[in-house]
Structure 1
C-alpha cells in the first residue's frame, strides 16, 4: 500500500499507465488534471513507449548499465523491464517514491533504487553507483533524464547536463525529454503544474543539450522518435531524443 498524504506526479503517471502503485489522492489529482486538460493516459503511454525505444536503441549500441534520474515508479515498461540483461540504478528525491521503488525492486540483483538529485550527481550513493552502474566514468553507460527538465530553469538544465556529460565516459548515451508548449492552450491545467514548471520550444531544447550530440532524429515529438510503424496520434506534449557523449 502506498503511504501518501499528498499526490505525486510519479504515482499519477503510474495510474495513467494502468499500474497498481498509487493512492486515492493520486487518482483524485489525476482526475482533476484531466478535467482541465483531457485524457492523459494516451500521452503518457507514448512517453513510456519512447523510453522503451530509446533504451532498446542504447542496448543495441552496447549500453549494459543505466543511471536513471527522476525515476518515479519503476514498473510498467521502465528501464529494467525493457533492458532485461542490464543493470539499472533508479534515483529520485521524493522519499515516498524511493521507499516504494525499493519495495518493488526488493530481491532484484540487477536493479536498485536510491536518493539522487538530478541537479547534483554527487548526491548519488557511490556504493549503489558502483554496484548497479559498474564502470561509471570509465566505460559507456545509458543515462535517462525523463520528466526532470520540465521543473528546472534553463541555466540549471544546461549546467546539469554538462556535468553529467563530464562525468560519463565517452560513448555514453542520454535519453532526454522536454515539455513542449501544448499546455499553453489549457491555462487551468497549466496553473496546476506550479510555478517551477517550464515549457520549451524545440530549438531551445536543442541548445540546452550543450556538448551532447543528438542522434540523427534530433529532438522531436516523442511519438515520432523511431516509431514502430505509423506514429501514434497524440498531442505533442513531450519532445525528446537520444544524444551521445562523443568525445
Structure 2
C-alpha cells in the first residue's frame, strides 16, 4: 500500500486508540490537533467504549447482523470484537480505509469490508450485503452511524436517516453520535476540521432522528450512556443514542 500524503481522521483515531494502522502523516496531524485542543485519546476511548456498549445492547435485543458506516480502521474494540457472534459488514468511502480493513479482516468468515456511502446505502455491493446482512429488509439489523453526523448538513442527515429507516425491518436499531459545540472554544482546532464540519447544540439532536425513536436512555453524553461503573470524566464532545424502528 502506498503511503498516503493526506491525513485521515479514521487513522488519527487509530493512533489515539493505540493502534498500529496509521501513517506518519496521521501522527503529525494528531499531534497538531492536540496542540490546538488538548489530549484526544481519552475522548476517543470514551466514544469507542460507547460503541461497544451500544452494539452489545443491540445484540442483547436479538439483532445478529450489523452494518457499519464510516467504519475507519476495524479494530481496537470495534463492532466485530464487541459482538463476536454477529455478522458485520463494515463500509467506508475512503479507499485506504477499505484496503486496510480488508487486509485486517482477511480470513474472518463473519466479517466483511467494502465501499459504502451512508447517504447512498443502495450502492453497497449486493453480494456483500447478502452474505453479511442476511434477510436485509426482512430481519432486524443494527446500524452503526458514528463519526458521520458532523459532516452532513441537517437536510442531508435527516434524509439519510429517514432513507435508512425505510430500508430496514421493524425492530432494527441505530447507534449514532453527534458532535457538540465543544470545539467552539478552540478556534484553531475547529479550523482544522474543515468547512464541512458541523457542531450542533444538544437540543437539536432529537429532531434530526426523524422517525427513529431513542431508547429510554435518551440522547446523552456518550460517557453517560449505560456506563459500566462510574462514567469516564471526559469533555462532553459527543452525545450518543440507540434509536429503534418499532415493530408493528
- Scaled by the length of structure 2, the TM-score of the pair is 0.98
Question: For each residue in 1:12-36, what CA deviation from the matched residue of structure 2 results, as whole angstroms up to 9, or x when unmatched?
Answer: 0000000010000000000000000
Aligned to 2:5: 5
Aligned to 1:52: 52
Question: For each residue in 1:63-116, what CA deviation from the matched residue of structure 2 results, as whole angstroms up to 9, or x when unmatched?
Answer: 100000000000000000011100000000011110010000011101000010
Mapped pair 1:179 → 2:179: yes
Aligned to 1:150: 150
Quote how far apart the aligned CAs of 1:62 are. 0.5
Aligned length: 247
Aligned to 1:215: 215
Quote how far apart the aligned CAs of 1:49 are. 0.1
Quote how far apart the aligned CAs of 1:164 are. 0.3
**Contact 1:7–1:29 (CA under 8 A) maintained in structure 2:** yes
Instruction: Quote the Cα distance in structure 1 between the aligned partners of 2:3 and 2:40.
Output: 24
* Unaligned residue ranges in structure 1 (runs of 5+): none
Quote how far apart the aligned CAs of 1:4 are. 1.6
Q: Secondary structure at the match of 2:88?
A: strand
Aligned to 1:242: 242
Closer, same or farther: CA 2–111 of 1 in aligned 2, 3 Å: farther
Instruction: Quote the Cα distance in structure 1 between the aligned partners of 2:214 and 2:81.
Output: 25
Instruction: Quote the Cα distance in structure 2 between the aligned partners of 1:129 and 1:179.
Output: 29
Q: Secondary structure at the match of 1:57?
A: helix
Mapped pair 1:111 → 2:111: yes
Aligned to 1:170: 170
**Contact 1:3–1:96 (CA under 8 A) maintained in structure 2:** no
Quote how far apart the aligned CAs of 1:2 are. 7.0
Mapped pair 1:131 → 2:131: yes
Aligned to 1:82: 82
Quote how far apart the aligned CAs of 1:136 are. 1.0
Quote how far apart the aligned CAs of 1:3 are. 2.9
Instruction: Quote the Cα distance in structure 2 between the aligned partners of 1:71 and 1:136.
Output: 19
Quote how far apart the aligned CAs of 1:234 are. 0.1
Closer, same or farther: CA 2–87 of 1 in aligned 2, 3 Å: farther
Q: Secondary structure at the match of 2:144?
A: strand
Instruction: Quote the Cα distance in structure 2 between the aligned partners of 1:190 and 1:207.
Output: 24
Quote how far apart the aligned CAs of 1:140 are. 0.5
Q: Secondary structure at the match of 2:130?
A: helix
Aligned to 1:68: 68
Question: For each residue in 1:23-62, what CA deviation from the matched residue of structure 2 results, as whole angstroms up to 9, or x when unmatched?
Answer: 0000000000000000000000000000000011001000
Q: Secondary structure at the match of 1:223?
A: helix
